[in-house]
Amino acid sequence: MQVTFDSVSDLAQALRRAEAAHGQHEAQIGHPDPDWPTWYAHYMFDEQTEHLGRAMQGEQAVRQDQAQQAGAEDTALGPTAPPRDTLPRGVSG
């Protein structure tokens, strides 16, 4: 399914809604979410395709994606890599 916006204003409003929802998500998880672009993408896709149940509770799917990615990255990095939560925001191992 393709996601489109009719105007820059519509896109900006969707980004603002995603930002507000993501702020709640970060408050729930108790730390900044470094993969916020993926979270926003899931939220905005689900909102536009009317899967609001997943948009509001889509954190589980995003967390699963992140866990899978982290597991693959951690394995590839080996035992000498610093723990992911000790890296500065925006820096990946």
The predicted-structure confidence for 27-69, as pLDDT tens digits, reads as follows 999 999 999 999 999 999 988 887 545 555 555 666 676 677 6
The verdict on residue 37 lying in a domain is yes
Taking the complete model, does pTM exceed 0.75, yes or no?
Answer: no
* Structural domain count of the chain: 1
The verdict on residue 15 lying in a domain is no
Q: How far apart (Å, rounded) are the C-alpha atoms in residues 18 and 87?
A: 25
* Higher pLDDT among residues 70 and 39, named by residue: 39
The verdict on residue 70 lying in a domain is no
How many CB atoms sit inside 10 A of residue 86's CB? 8
Phi, psi of 80 (to 5 degrees): -90, -5
* Residue-level pLDDT at 78: 43
In terms of residue numbers, what domain contains 42? 32-64
The verdict on residue 59 lying in a domain is yes
* Higher pLDDT among residues 63 and 7, named by residue: 7
The verdict on residue 49 lying in a domain is yes
The verdict on residue 47 lying in a domain is yes
